[in-house]
Structure 1
Amino acid sequence: MRRRRTGGVRWGTIACLLLTAGITAVEPAAAQSVNKRLIDSLNYQLAYVALPLTLLVELILVYAVFRFRNNDDPQPTAEDKPLEITWTIATAIILLFVGVAAFTVLTNPYITPTQPRSAGTGGGAGGSSLGGASGSGAGMGVADAANTSNAVTVHTLAYQWGWQFQYPGTNVTTHDDLVLPAHTDIYIRMTSADVIHSLFIPQLGVKQDVFPKRTTIIHTRVYKTGTYRGYCTEFCGSGHARMRTKVRVLPKKQYRQWLRNKSKKTASTNGSAATRNASAKTAG
């Protein structure tokens, strides 16, 4: 009886190990961004490992409950070194798989972003410049500067209770309306004007805390155009629930056209304001 019992547990452990080792990462349904794809892929991999383990444990539990429910003289499982070695190795392999899978995703530059190397070298209209229209973007028009880099940087200022987005190399600034190009590397450099905030865009799989006097970065690449919702997920005062932003992802051409139109409109508004101020001074 003991031999059959230990043999059954041993073969069950081996079967679980083989099932786990034979699982390959299955690509989840098409995600809206590279961040979402990475996170969903990790979740799928961990689920494919956890489900067979859970099933095995539950089956053993149900079997033990019914098989030995009327046993008036229970006996402990006999010492079995091969069984102990088997489940120790199986556990080590499973933990190694989980650790490697999680480490691979967490160290990905889209999940743990760093400042782009091209920072401060230009980029113009939404390019990778972190300090405005300098370098190769200086002296260029909005449309030309927009094509000087493959990356887009947006400067973000969080405040109670809203979001301000500024596009380096242009005079374009938006409030609670983040506009991004699709199929482009995007760096969102964020800081806070007052307290701690956090930008969370669930459908894009991005979330990053925002601190006063510090700069944090979101790095993403969005595949699908459309409109998404962004939220502040760090309690920041009485208006926290209202601190939302609209995220619009446009095709590249439409994004550049939006920048042109927005820049012209802003320039026209500033010019009209300057004219009114000059007239007021003259009249005075």
Structure 2
Amino acid sequence: MINRKRVGAMALYGATLLLMAVEPAAAQSGYASTTEGAIRGLNSNLIYVAVPITILVEGILIYTVWKYSKTDEAKPTQENRRLEITWTVATAVILLFVGVASYQVLGNPYVAAESQAEIPGEAAEEIEVYGQKYNWNFVYRNVSVDGASATDVSMTNVSIEGATVENVTDEGIVISGGSVSSAGDGALDSASLVNGTVTAGAGNPSQYETGEQVRFTDVSVSGAAIEGASITDATVKSTNTLVMPKGQNIRLNITSRDWLHAFHVPDLGLKQDALPGQSNSIVTRPTKTGEYQLYCAEYCGVGHSGMLGTVEVRSQSNYDSWLAQTWFSAQG
């Protein structure tokens, strides 16, 4: 019959392992994303179990070889029920620990992208990711930003109210102040114009005088600086630079426009196949600002090694500014 102390020790060991198994779900702080935290937390806890077991097994093996190395004739083993029960229970406890810990991580919505489990916090912001030899392309849809600023902006089909003529040049009419709105796609609701040059659609520049208050409709502007821009229902695109806001749930819908690729950001714990005609998802929440290397992890041809990109995690305000600046940069 097994000694009570031995049973108590095994129970304590088992309880300790089960407590460690719960840790990966919470071990998400201190990492660059919730996904990385869950995966690395599981790896660490498995090492906590694997290292002592490895040392124990190797120690017994080395001791056995040393002790019986000079024995001429092997002797039959004797039955030891206590030993058999002990290692059976220990094995069961270890397997239970591995199963519980792995199930928690594999069922985590930040790791299992197709999981139907509810994602903590706000609804995920969706970003489309397209792999195409040999670049990564990103699309942000239904973008809305308030109070954005941008510089060196070029726009077409815009209306300007209450601007002041600062100068008239061969390139166009230099103006400042006033408000600008989009007459084209409707994405730019309003913005305060700091300065800019009207380059087309204003008629003969010589008819304007310095200091004159002007109003323009359906004109083009270049080199403009604006503040307080309100953008709604805009589409922003970028290539090889994926920008995400810190602390926001993100869903990346990943596909390919030609053949097999694989989206891989090791420092954020993100990896997903990019297959033509199929969209695979990754859900994550970045927790640290910074830049992270993006790779293609599937051999995709002669340019595979150069299919690199950068993932930038920014504060919410910097993220909104980037969206606005990138959208304005595409308008000219």
Q: Distance in 2 between matches of 1:248 and 1:233?
A: 19
| Amino acid of the structure 2 residue aligned with 1:157 | Y
1:98 aligned partner: 98
Say which structure is richer in helix. Answer: 1
Say which structure is richer in strand. Answer: 2
| Amino acid of the structure 2 residue aligned with 1:167 | Y
Matched, 1:247 2:241: no
- The 3-state SS of whatever aligns with 1:259 is helix
Percent sequence identity is: 38
Deviation at 1:19, TM superposition (A): 4.7
Q: Distance in 2 between matches of 1:53 and 1:117?
A: 34
Equivalent residue for 1:178, pick from 242, 246, 249 = 242
Q: Distance in 1 between matches of 2:14 and 2:133?
A: 48
- The 3-state SS of whatever aligns with 2:292 is strand
Q: Distance in 1 between matches of 2:257 and 2:295?
A: 17
The 1:18–1:54 alpha-carbon spacing in structure 2 relative to 1, beyond 3 Å, is farther
- The 3-state SS of whatever aligns with 2:244 is strand
Instruction: Write out aligned runs for 1:6-155 (5 A).
Output: 19=13, 21-23=15-17, 24-25=19-20, 27=27, 30-114=30-114, 150-155=123-128
- The 3-state SS of whatever aligns with 1:35 is helix
Q: Distance in 1 between matches of 2:117 and 2:102?
A: 26
- Alignment RMSD: 2.8
Deviation at 1:225, TM superposition (A): 0.3
- The 3-state SS of whatever aligns with 1:22 is helix
Matched, 1:235 2:299: yes
Matched, 1:205 2:269: yes
Deviation at 1:82, TM superposition (A): 2.6
Deviation at 1:83, TM superposition (A): 1.9
1:280 aligned partner: none
Equivalent residue for 2:329, pick from 253, 265, 271 = 265
Q: Distance in 2 between matches of 1:155 and 1:208?
A: 13
Instruction: Write out aligned runs for 1:189-200 (5 A).
Output: 189-200=253-264
Q: Distance in 2 between matches of 1:213 and 1:28?
A: 33
Deviation at 1:177, TM superposition (A): 0.7
Does structure 1 conserve the Cα–Cα contact (< 8 Å) formed by 2:264 and 2:270? yes
Does structure 2 conserve the Cα–Cα contact (< 8 Å) formed by 1:14 and 1:86? no
Question: Structure 1: where are the runs of 5+ without partners?
Answer: 1-6, 119-148, 270-284
Query: TM-score scaled to structure 2, two decimals?
Result: 0.63
The 1:66–1:50 alpha-carbon spacing in structure 2 relative to 1, beyond 3 Å, is same
1:219 aligned partner: 283
- The 3-state SS of whatever aligns with 2:63 is helix
1:138 aligned partner: none
| Amino acid of the structure 2 residue aligned with 1:168 | R
Q: Distance in 1 between matches of 2:115 and 2:239?
A: 24
The 1:33–1:45 alpha-carbon spacing in structure 2 relative to 1, beyond 3 Å, is same
Does structure 2 conserve the Cα–Cα contact (< 8 Å) formed by 1:19 and 1:52? no
Deviation at 1:208, TM superposition (A): 0.3
Query: TM-score scaled to structure 1, two decimals?
Result: 0.73
Deviation at 1:22, TM superposition (A): 2.9
Aligned residues: 229
